[in-house]
């Protein structure tokens, strides 16, 4: 789920960004002042302060278009590898007589789907390495 959020953020930045900020209205800030003269002074001071804050605020660095395209290409490749590893691990786990820690084949496949490198590595360590031959798990 985290990778999906990051992908959506990269896509939004690549397509133009969506940076919004809240700026209060002078009537919201100076509402407690009852005198008209003091309220107009408060309003003008607030407008000047907001203009100064906008000019002093550094703009966020834009992601280069190359990095955005790389991210847009990387995630489909990454998850297609995850699907392939997930299917392989799921099929292999269904054929096994025993599973480490009694984890069902579906969950081994799901782990490999969401994080192919770590999921496949953990599955291999627990089922095919020397640890598995010693009976750990």
End-to-end C-alpha distance for the chain, whole angstroms: 29
With beta carbons less than 8 A apart as the criterion, state whether 78 and 119 touch: no
Q: What is the mean pLDDT of residues 110-116?
A: 90
Is 35 or 46 the better-scoring residue by pLDDT? 35
- Whether the pTM exceeds 0.75: the reply is no
pLDDT tens-digit map of 5-16 = 555 555 555 555
Question: What pLDDT score was predicted for residue 107?
Answer: 93
Phi-psi sector, 17: left (phi>0), alpha (psi -120 to 50), beta: left
Place of tokens 């392989």: 88
pLDDT tens-digit map of 71-101 = 888 888 988 999 999 999 999 999 988 888 8
With beta carbons less than 8 A apart as the criterion, state whether 46 and 62 touch: no
Question: What pLDDT score was predicted for residue 4?
Answer: 59
With beta carbons less than 8 A apart as the criterion, state whether 110 and 86 touch: yes
Mean of pLDDT over the chain: 77
If pLDDT is split at 50, 70 and 90, which confidence band does 122 have? very high
Kindly report which listed range (9-18, 42-51, 69-78, 115-124) carries the lowest average pLDDT score.
9-18
- Domain residue ranges of the chain, discontinuous segments joined by +: 2-56, 65-134
């Amino acid at each position: 789920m985290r990778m999906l959020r990051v992908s959506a953020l990269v896509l939004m930045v690549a397509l133009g960004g969506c940076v919004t900020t809240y700026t209060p209205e002078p009537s919201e800030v100076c509402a407690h002042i009852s005198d008209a003269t003091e309220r107009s002074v408060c309003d003008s001071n607030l407008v000047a302060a907001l203009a100064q804050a906008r000019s002093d605020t550094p703009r966020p660095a834009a992601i280069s278009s190359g990095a955005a395209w790389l991210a847009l290409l990387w995630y489909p490749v990454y998850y297609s590898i995850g699907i392939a590893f997930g299917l392989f691990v799921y099929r292999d786990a269904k054929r096994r007589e025993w599973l480490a820690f009694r984890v069902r084949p579906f969950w081994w496949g799901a782990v490999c789907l969401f994080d192919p490198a770590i999921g496949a590595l953990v599955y291999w360590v627990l089922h095919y390495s020397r640890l598995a031959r010693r009976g750990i798990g």
